[in-house]
Amino acid sequence: MEFLQTMLEVIKRTAPGFLEATVLTLQVTAVALVLGTLLGLVFALMKISKSKILQTIANIYITIIRGTPLIVQIMFLYFGITAVIILDAFWAGAIALGIHNGAYIAEIFRGAIQSIDKGQREASMALGMTRGQSMKRIIFPQALKRSIPPLGNQFIITLKDSSLVYIISVSELFAVANRDAAQSYQPFETYLVVGLYYLVLVMIFTAILRWYEGRLNVDK
Amino acid sequence: MLKATNLHKSFGKLEVLKGIDLEVQPSEVVVLVGVSGSGKSTLLRCFNFLERINQGSIEIDGQVIDAKKQKLSQVRAEVGMVFQHFNLFPHKTVLENVIEAPIVVKKENKETAIAKGKALLEKVGLADKADVYPSKLSGGQKQRVAIARALAMEPKALLFDEPTSALDPELVGEVLAVMKQLAEEGMTMVVVTHEMKFAREVADRIIMLDEGVIIENTDPKTFFENPSNERTRQFISLVE
């Protein structure tokens, strides 16, 4: 009983700061997802292209990103880029997260594109479509639908990984909770509350994805 | 209309076509037969450049096609193909399947394409299915849509790659009926099939391939009653 009361107090006390930070968390995540999806698409197409050079570039990118920790990538980009151009922590963090996701999303798209029956490509080519037309009109729309479940998974990971940008002092949800935990001497309760925030965000996200997936399957 | 000269095709070390010479006249219906692995499907696919040939040449409508210099997409647009597994686009409705290439490839305007598409669906007996997705169709209906889709490009010739082999027996007839109708209307057709009744009734010429070479090239009557090659005789006794 006493514990619940303490929890309610902590929730109430942290609410203004946490809600404000949630907005920042969602912004970092949104930028990272848009950038990651675009990069993922470009690198997926490079990987399945006929050009050895493009394939190699894509492979190097994916190998480096998947082979190093995200937190190292964030630090590297922040201190690396801010040495050359002035970029605030928010953008450095969001871009790092986007570049990181691009590698994983590229593999999701590549897998989905290659999973489409080769008869689809042959049928579209036999009708006179170019490779580009066939990809855009026939293969990719089907691949995209097939990518939704793994893509949703990746989006959830991104939402949670966005907490790592606290390391370059972006005042997102985890950074604010971290500060609060130290100042209030209630680390257990504070981290429990911030955990609930992420849990709720992920659940909302999952519900939206389910709804979208359902909508895609309505008539097919 | 279609002409192959000294055609060679290998997959790795395996030579599948060993010097094929074949000419198909306008409005002619040529049926390709042979045991599996004889190269008949590969030959058909060469006519649409879905396979790159290693040696020899292919002419379409009197023009030699150079795969290195010409845009193959333009060449393919002139020769339609119907596949064993239909390969309809599952994310598009029946009508969208039919009008896709005319709009994207031939830049036809949408109203024209729709009007023509509906007429073609009428012709294959599927006007009422225009707005459903392929997954709701039977195999025979799918293949008839695939034929309508190929016809929508107004091809100079149509290639059929075992069009009824993936169908339940009771659905074969409706597809063959559409093909027969096309043949009667004067469409140039090359058909790979195991349907001997169709070959006998519809073909102008039957070609038997064996291990990558043509061993029989004759009219249906001679093919069935008096074939020149012992292998052809064996084949006929097996399939009939």
pLDDT one-digit tens code per residue, A8-67: 999 999 999 999 999 999 999 999 999 999 999 999 999 999 999 999 999 999 999 999
Confidence (pLDDT) at B29 = 96
Inform me whether the pLDDT recorded for A220 exceeds 70.
no
**Pairing of the two strands B79-82 and B63-64:** unpaired
| pLDDT the model gives residue B171 | 93
The count of C-alpha atoms lying within 13 angstroms of the C-alpha of A68, restricted to the half-sphere facing its C-beta, is 17
CATH code, domain carrying B12: 3.40.50.300
Residue A161 corresponds to which amino acid? Answer: D
Reading phi first (left if > 0) and then psi (alpha if -120 to 50, else beta), residue A122 is in: alpha
Report the complex ipTM.
0.91
Tell me the two tokens of residue A184.
Answer: 């209030």
pLDDT digits (tens, 9 = 90+) for A152-210: 999 999 999 999 999 998 999 999 999 999 898 889 999 999 999 999 999 999 999 98
* Number of domains chain B is built from: 1
Domain holding B156, by residue range, is: 2-239
Q: What is the number of other CB atoms lying within 10 angstroms of the CB of residue B127?
A: 14
Task: Say if the Cβ atoms of B81 and A129 lie within 8 Å.
Answer: no
CA B154 to chain centre: 14
Predicted pLDDT of residue A218: 52
Q: Are A77 and A99 in contact (CB under 8 A)?
A: yes
Gap from A34 CA to chain B (nearest CA, Å) = 25
Residue of B197, B219, B216 whose CA lies nearest to B208 = B216
Report the residue from A122, A142, A220 with minimal CB separation from B50. A122
B193 by DSSP, 3-state: which? coil
Q: What is the pLDDT of residues A109-140, one digit of tens each?
A: 999 999 999 999 999 999 999 999 999 999 99
Which parts of chain B register pLDDT below 50?
Answer: none
Q: Do residue A120 and residue B89 have CB atoms under 8 angstroms apart?
A: yes
How many CB pairs below 8 Å do chains A and B form together? 71
Could you tell me the pLDDT band of residue A87, with boundaries at 50, 70 and 90? confident
- Residues paired with residue B32 on neighbouring β-strands, in sequence order: B192, B207
CB contact under 8 A, A124 and B73: no
Which of residues A219 and B173 earns the better pLDDT score?
Answer: B173
Beta strands at B55-60 and B63-64: parallel, antiparallel or unpaired: antiparallel
pLDDT at A169 (0 to 100):
87
pLDDT at res. A28:
96
C-alpha distance from residue A66 to each of A21, A99, A214, B29 (Å)? 28, 11, 31, 56
